[in-house]
Structure 1
């Protein structure tokens, strides 16, 4: 009998040990479930690139006019805004949504981008593609190269407008990453938040006037983008963005019959449960060293998550006499980890050194392809090298 009792006690203790939960996990309450009516959905924090919510996020699906997010950012990165874009036979009277451009009409690339994003003009998309890429095929090549460089492994583009086509698809997660990237471009950001735009009309006595189809700009407090989409095969698609208390989020739904309401819920969820927090400020001293951090680092944490953050200071080798090193006061970096996963890197400089301008984003390693072609010019491209290697 006594042996049997001891055996029972051992079994009970073993069971308790097996079921025990680390204290850090116990102190972090589970988040409420988030549901949408979408076939696929994703929610991302723009500053950090952290995906806060994903449902079937890597499923490769038709995306309709959400395609034009890629069209716009590629055109912005490669084109001259003030140069006129001429409407070809291929662009004129393009099927689907249109801004009703005339054959042979000319409009600046800048104005045509507004027609593309506010009214989802397929004629504008085709004209832009031919102008920037030399041909529609040439522009599509640029679109797919951009997708590769951003690490969008579940995306492939066959046209610049999003009409249904074989081999034309993306995913909710990829669209979230793409849009977070694009929202750091000031031209793109200004276009997608514009409620109404007027542009010169060379064929009439009145100007073009385009009202933004994105109802989220009117329905949601803080909304500032991005794009609607619909085809008979893709159904209703939407990418929206909003900014509150200095934090910007992007929500994506594909095939969602209740997208306006779902996006409101998704954005509310992100703002409430993943507020953006600052871990360090530009110029802040590194404790125990004659060093300062070069830029502010912000990250969205769920309640209790910040307790799992670790910071690792990695110093460079001292600069040798006669070295051609031109990094001046750069002395190393602080690597930031959340529960063992690296989520950011902040360079550190000798105290008193000139600190470079703030980066557009928190650099996060291993979330984007390692090389970005020099044709994708600009500082944003350099920052993103390190970031995302993690209705009509």
Structure 2
């Protein structure tokens, strides 16, 4: 009896261990924030969402758009001068990098304090340097937002300082984040956990040391926040906007973007936006992956080529590159049917390795494609030889009939 109980207990333990690794359903994710979205970076596919098109105040996540425009217009080594208005227009209580009026700093230095401690004075300096004024730079931000594909976004300033007419959505911010990740400078900066702004002739001290507000990155943050696959991006907070974050994470070849807006502190001393991000990332990494459905140089079909020699006319058509598609882990790739488009007509000669068409998979509106190439050379028939042989045949027939008629 005791042995049976031990066996049952052992089976229960094994079952519980296995249950930890089971895939979770999207409906099972308990996100405390009222608005969120989880996007796969390369495809832009939405994996999870909650009120993704609801207009919200974005707070300092705004600064990602500021960084995008600055990097499009400036070199990192360019120098900007801190104006009186850039410093004086930051309301009390908003974060700054203690920039001094008349201080000269490189664009690279200003981007660091813009994105790591979320300095609002740096946002103003950059906006004035690029746009001439805060108002003109805001117009540039809105034009860029429309170009990226944002339909429910309006910026009034480069920092996210509260304004009733300064708003966005989780979906629009995920598009902005996706665009921002094309800039290596942004990716390099946002993954840093600390930055020391060097002293200048206007600030003769090295004590401007700033820590990243994204606690998903830091080993020194509470264990509840640190996420080993986190790669950065931007946090935000104002009283009207509440807690906001755009966060990114990468595991193997899968890169995810999470946006949390309007989060409130409902867990006592813990900050829910970081916990929500971790839940979203774990859902994405546990349930989705890239799968190889066609390997480079694999045969997709065989065709007969017109005008080819007998020994080369049957040609194998190969996929030129690997085709990796983004799918749910439980998706059966055997159900996928490709569309083959071959050059028509296929006529000899054809050189091995040359492009003769393409293969396409359309999966949930996302197109995956590769060129199709010839496996081997296809040689053209020697028509002179054919004509000579036909001539011989006709000559033999003529001679035969001539002999037949005489007899």
TM-score computed with the length of structure 1 as normaliser = 0.73
2:152 to 151, 154, 166: 154
Instruction: Find the aligned partners of 1:31 and 1:252 in 2 and give their Cα distance.
Output: 16
Determine whether 1:244 maps to 2:251. yes
**In the alignment, does 2:205 pair up with 1:205?**
yes
User: What is the CA–CA distance in structure 1 between the aligned matches of 2:294 and 2:182, rounded to whole Å?
Assistant: 21
**Contact 1:192–1:225 (8 Å) recurs in 2:** yes
Cα pair 2:34 2:51 within 8 Å, conserved: yes
Partner SS state of residue 76, structure 2: coil
Q: Distance in 2 between matches of 1:158 and 1:92?
A: 17
The secondary structure found in structure 1 opposite 2:37 is: strand
Name the Cα RMSD after superposition.
2.8
What residue in structure 2 maps to residue 346 of structure 1? Answer: 369
Inter-partner Cα distance in structure 2 for 1:32 and 1:213: 30
Can you give the 5+ residue segments of structure 1 that lack an aligned partner in the other structure? Answer: 1-27, 320-327, 353-392
User: Which of 164, 180, 183 is residue 181 of structure 2 equivalent to?
Assistant: 183
Higher relative contact order (CA 8 A, sep 6+): 1
The equivalent of 2:340 in structure 1 is 313
Runs of 5+ unmatched residues, structure 2: 1-22, 219-225, 265-271, 303-315, 347-352, 376-407
Q: Deviations over 1:53-84 (max 9, x none)?
A: 01100111111001011111221122111001
Q: Are 1:73 and 2:68 counterparts?
A: yes
Contact 2:325–2:368, Cα closer than 8 Å, also in 1:
no
Residue of structure 2 equivalent to 1:268: 282
Please identify, of 296-305 and 198-207, the stretch whose mean Cα deviation from structure 2 is larger. Answer: 296-305
Q: Which residue of 1 aligns with 2:8?
A: none
Distance 1:265 1:107, change over 3 A: same
User: Secondary structure at the residue paired with 1:337?
Assistant: strand
Q: Look up the match of 1:356.
A: none
SS of aligned partner of 2:365 = strand
**Gap change, CA 1:63 and 1:31, over 3 Å in 2:** closer
- Offset at residue 342 of structure 1 (A): 2.3
The alpha carbon displacement at 1:34 in A equals 1.6
Whether 1:92 and 2:99 are equivalent positions in the alignment is: no
Separation in 2, partners of 1:123, 1:318: 65
Aligned partner of 2:130 among 105, 129, 132: 132
Q: How many residues align?
A: 317
Distance 2:343 2:361 in 1: 17
Larger radius of gyration: 2
Residues 38-67 of structure 1: CA distance to partner in whole angstroms, max 9, x if unpaired? 121000111221110011001111110010
| Counterpart-to-counterpart distance in 2, 1:281 and 1:335 | 14
For the Cα contact (< 8 Å) 1:297–1:346, is it kept in 2? no
**3-state secondary structure, aligned to 2:276:** helix
